A = this chain, B = another copy of it.
Amino acid sequence: MRIAVLESPLDLGPVVGAVVGIDRGGLVTFTGLVRRKGRIPDVVRLEYEAYRTMAEKVLEQIADEIEREIGGARVAIHHRVGSLAVGEAAVVVAAAAPHRAEAFTACRAAIDRLKQRAPIWKKEIGESGAAWIEDCC
């Protein structure tokens, strides 16, 4: 599955499996993990909410765009929703390409565009309060 919005824990295996191939020698993955130190101190968990149908469509568009822009590249993106503890993965991206430079470029473009465009929101829940995080670092 190249694109998915899932409630279950994420793993690199499926996104990697969706992009590898005998003509692609470079494989880059990105994993976004919930940090202890968020906008509020001592984050306990993050709640991710998605407009799921649109998020899947937008992630598909992002992967398609990048594959068109970067010859020979393949991109897969899985995003998690629901309640995540510190250390859990919120998103995994894999990009494979003939050589490593394009694989790095494709992976970076996928996560950057996801953050700008995917209708997904997160709320930090800490010991001293909660806050919707409006943009991301």
Interface residues of chain A, those whose CB is within 8 Å of chain B, are 12, 16, 20, 22-37, 86-87, 98-100, 103-104, 107-108, 111, 137
B29–A12 CB distance below 8 A: yes
A87–B30 CB distance below 8 A: no
Q: List 30 A-B contacts (CB under 8 A).
A: A12-B12, A12-B29, A16-B31, A20-B87, A22-B35, A22-B86, A22-B87, A23-B35, A24-B33, A24-B35, A25-B33, A25-B34, A25-B35, A26-B31, A26-B32, A26-B33, A27-B33, A28-B28, A28-B30, A28-B31, A29-B29, A29-B31, A30-B104, A35-B98, A37-B98, A99-B137, A100-B111, A104-B104, A104-B107, A104-B108
Given contacts A35-B22, A87-B20, contact A27 B27 (CB under 8 A): no
